[in-house]
Amino acid sequence: MNKAESADLILKLYDLRREPTMRAARNWMLSFFPASAADIMQAMIAQETSGHFRMVATYWDMAASLVNHGAIDEEMFADAHNEHLVVFSKIELFLEEVRATMNSPKFLLNLETLIMKMPDAKEVLTARREMIKRMFEVRREMAKNV
């Protein structure tokens, strides 16, 4: 794989993220902050959220699969993306329970594998969760003042 091929695939992934349904799903995922595996399971089965959750989660798992299998340069992917870290940070603490509940031990395994290769993965995920919490606290405060 050469850098130009990686770049081309990364740009194609970006184009997929711009599709209107995917954009709506990504916006929903940003506001989704599960407190338990049950919250994730509910999001996966509720008619109004199931498509959004599955679209975003499986998109990033697919993208991670391309990286894990060498179709996209890992360093280039990491330089171009961080949304997958935000998505996984929301799910990580509950992933084993979700996998057990679903009887699906490979659920989001590509995404987990890619992210956990990072030497400071746990710290990065914790920092992302804290960043998201702060962001939503600021949004709540701004909404009160409008």
Which mean pLDDT values do the consecutive 10-residue runs of the chain (146 residues) have?
89 94 94 94 96 97 97 95 94 97 97 96 95 87 84
pLDDT tens by residue, 48-71: 999 999 999 999 999 999 999 999
Residue-by-residue DSSP string for the chain:
--HHHHHHHHHHHHHHHTSHHHHHHHHHHHH---SSHHHHHHHHHSTTTHHHHHHHHHHHHHHHHHHHTTSS-HHHHHHH--HHHHHHHHHGGGHHHHHHHHT-TTTTHHHHHHHHTSTTHHHHHHHHHHHHHHHHHHHHHHHHT-
Q: What is the pLDDT of residue 104?
A: 97
User: Whole-structure pTM over 0.85, yes or no?
Assistant: yes
- Long-range contacts of the stretch 11-16 (C-beta < 8 A, 24+): 13/63, 13/66, 13/81, 14/80, 16/59
Q: What is the pLDDT of residue 126?
A: 95
Q: What is the pLDDT of residue 53?
A: 97
Q: What is the pLDDT of residue 133?
A: 87
